[in-house]
Amino acid sequence: MAEPYPAETNASGEITSFIALPTVFTPPSSCSTVFRLNGFSIVAYDPGFGIDVDTRVRCAPAAVTTWWEQRRLGVYNGDGHTAMSIGPLTCPYQWSTVASYVKDEVSTLAMCCPPDYTLTNTNGHAGSLVGDCRSNVLTGAVLTFASSNVSEGRWRMNTTTVEGYRRSIQFICYRNNQPEFPSTNKYRRFSASPANSTHRADTHDTAVHPNRDPHVNKSRHSA
């Protein structure tokens, strides 16, 4: 059984503790249609869906959910705190590496996207870990997603029919938006985090769109 990478301390005194995830995780096929509303984004493959919305849903391994939701532990902020990351980590089954670069002599960073998702919003930085994994949905598609009204404090399922669009609907799945942790080991990293913005299509929507953005400033998967 693979051991997690040793803890690391950066120049600011932040300690990073690693969780080992060396085996390939295979998400259920249904995960490609399990969506939640995050601001104005419809997001798939959310590691926190099984905590917030439906405990029966598991579209990410437990280690990823623990890492992703580490802010809920109440120890993420403050000087000298311990952050969690994942290493070693293998990309999920049938996910593709869409970008990578060599950080230093001991680390190679990479970004993976799910099947039928492509890397966009790279801002011209080819090969870098900048951008979003997106998938387009065409006119006539019927989408079901979870949303939460802040005043009600509960989640409900809603259905939207895509009637037309100025731009294609794009599901932002995973992106990199956190500073890198220093590395002292020979391993590969890939980033993954739901984004918090997307282009919206003209739709008929039965949902109440909340001003709720639970997933911002996420760290990355490490491998």
Indicate the domain borders of the chain. Answer: 8-205
Q: What is the pLDDT at residue 219?
A: 30
User: pLDDT class for 83, splitting at 50, 70, 90?
Assistant: confident
Query: Does residue 215 surpass a pLDDT of 70?
Result: no
Query: Does residue 212 surpass a pLDDT of 90?
Result: no
The residue with tokens 């990478």 is: 5
Cα gap 207→145, rounded to integer Å: 9
Pairing of strands 15-21, 118-120: unpaired
User: pLDDT class for 76, splitting at 50, 70, 90?
Assistant: low
User: pLDDT class for 57, splitting at 50, 70, 90?
Assistant: very high
Query: Does residue 208 surpass a pLDDT of 60?
Result: no
Cα gap 123→141, rounded to integer Å: 29
Query: Does residue 12 surpass a pLDDT of 90?
Result: no
Asked if residue 146 lies in contact with residue 157, where contact means CB atoms within 8 angstroms, the answer is yes
Span 145-173, mean pLDDT?
Answer: 70
User: pLDDT class for 204, splitting at 50, 70, 90?
Assistant: very low
| Structural tokens at position 189 | 């990293």
Cα gap 192→173, rounded to integer Å: 8
What does the pLDDT look like over 13-49, one tens digit per residue?
Answer: 888 888 888 889 999 999 999 999 888 888 899 888 9
Kind plus residue range of the DSSP H or E element containing 212: none
Which distant-in-sequence residues (6+ apart) come within 8 Å of 28 by Cβ? 58, 59
Query: Does residue 124 surpass a pLDDT of 50?
Result: yes
Radius of gyration of the chain, Cα coordinates, nearest whole angstrom: 18
| Structural tokens at position 126 | 């080819």
Q: What is the pLDDT at residue 126?
A: 58
Widest CA span of the chain, in angstroms? 52
What does the pLDDT look like over 130-147, one tens digit per residue?
Answer: 777 888 888 888 889 999
Residue that wins the pLDDT comparison between 174 and 166: 166
Q: Which residues pair with 145 in a beta bridge?
A: 35, 158
Kind plus residue range of the DSSP H or E element containing 98: strand 96-104
